[in-house]
Structure 1
Amino acid sequence: MQIPHDTRRALDVVVALVNTAAEVDHPDALADIGALRAFVKEYAISDVGELGARDLAGVRAVRGKFAQVFAAPNSRAAATLINELVATAGTTPQLTDHDGYDWHVHYFAPGASVGDHLAADGGMALAFIVVSGEQERLRRCEAPDCRRAFVDSSRNRSRRYCDSRTCGNRLHVAAYRARRKEAGAEASEQEQIVHGGEQQQGADHS
């Protein structure tokens, strides 16, 4: 699937934000304002002022909305959620080439909070996916002990895991071991049948 660079980057931020939520195997990665500052820095989110408790609450709320989009059963449900997101954020599209980047579009309004910033840019990136008829690419990892979000960019929508090198390989190894164990059990059972038959033949001859 061909995704414009700016949209791809916005989707990466959406996925990263969704995956900060607490899961069975890890705590909330946005537990405090310090964690939010680190997230903003890591993903180079521009035009962000001093962050406070209200910003943290706002970003967590947006995170929850993004997660709902990934869980949406169909494109209509996803579209409804996205429309609510971008309407609340107050999108104001404008071209910019800040900090040496090529021309690209910012959808958040000047002076927007970091939550509205993420909702506007992330919401429009998700809108691109829905408009392209690709809502099914917004997925969760199928590994039984992982629920991380990801965007399936494979040509035939075949990606099943958030990371093939970790979850994918782990599942393949587990399946291989299960097959070997099953094959070993079948061989042992067959051997017992053979030995049982031999013992019965010996008893008959005696």
Structure 2
Amino acid sequence: MVFAHDVEMSLGSAAWLANSALEPDTLTTVDELDAFAEEHRFTGARAHDATELAEVRALRPRLREVMLASRDDAVELVNAMLQEGRALPRLVRHDQWDWHLHAVADDRPFAERILVETAMAMIDVIRADEMSRLSRCDDPECEGVVVDLSRNRSRRFCSTACGNRVAAAAYRARQRQD
């Protein structure tokens, strides 16, 4: 394992959110936000309304920016995110998860919790000098964020669909050459 479980979960959810802003937008309804929260196992208070959806949607460019920034630029962005969220780290244990960090109270707005959890995850990425684990998708038609948690650092695509699209295009190009 490259990072602690909570860090990996936060990086994955941040990448999902950043990529949800790409065409087609995959976060347009409260039901889609609810599905995201359940799939990524977020705890704490939720409003389940259009305001909450708008706040989370508004985070997506910031998440993309911090995940694709250089290491030094990411530090400035992370510090701003932590300050904005008034982060106060504490150890918690809930559900099936052992001790891990939460840095904002469970009753704070969902978007604020996402922002701070992403910033906390990015702290570990920055401190471990592992920014190369975060990149842009290798599909020339995609702008997706890739979180590479593989041992051999081989993940190049944000999704199977992008990987398949590039492989199919390469196959067709080889067939044309023959």
Confirm or deny a common fold (TM above 0.5): yes
Q: Distance in 2 between matches of 1:36 and 1:12?
A: 15
Residues 133-160 of structure 1 show CA distances to partners (whole Å, capped at 9, x for unaligned) of 1112211211123222221223453432
Aligned equivalent of 1:131: 127
Q: Could you tell me whether the CA contact under 8 Å between 1:90 and 1:116 is conserved in 2?
A: no
Aligned equivalent of 1:154: 150
* Mapping for residues 8-87 of structure 1, pairs under 5 Å: 8-23=8-23, 26=24, 28-72=25-69, 74-87=70-83
Residue type of the partner of 1:98?
Answer: H
Aligned equivalent of 1:172: 167
| Secondary structure in structure 2 of the residue aligned to 1:116 | helix
Residues 9-43 of structure 1 show CA distances to partners (whole Å, capped at 9, x for unaligned) of 111111111121132xx1x2221333222222222
Quote how far apart the aligned CAs of 1:132 are.
1.0
Q: Distance in 1 between matches of 2:172 and 2:98?
A: 50
Quote how far apart the aligned CAs of 1:8 are.
1.0
Q: Distance in 1 between matches of 2:46 and 2:21?
A: 23
Q: TM-score, normalised by structure 1?
A: 0.76
Residues 81-116 of structure 1 show CA distances to partners (whole Å, capped at 9, x for unaligned) of 111112111112112122343222211134211011
Q: Could you tell me whether the CA contact under 8 Å between 1:30 and 1:36 is conserved in 2?
A: yes
Residue type of the partner of 2:43?
Answer: S
Percent identical pairs in the alignment equals 36
Q: Could you tell me whether the CA contact under 8 Å between 1:70 and 1:140 is conserved in 2?
A: no
Aligned equivalent of 1:115: 111
Which sits farther off after the overlay, 131-140 or 53-62? 53-62
Q: Could you tell me whether the CA contact under 8 Å between 2:6 and 2:100 is conserved in 1?
A: yes
Q: TM-score, normalised by structure 2?
A: 0.87
- Equivalences, count: 178
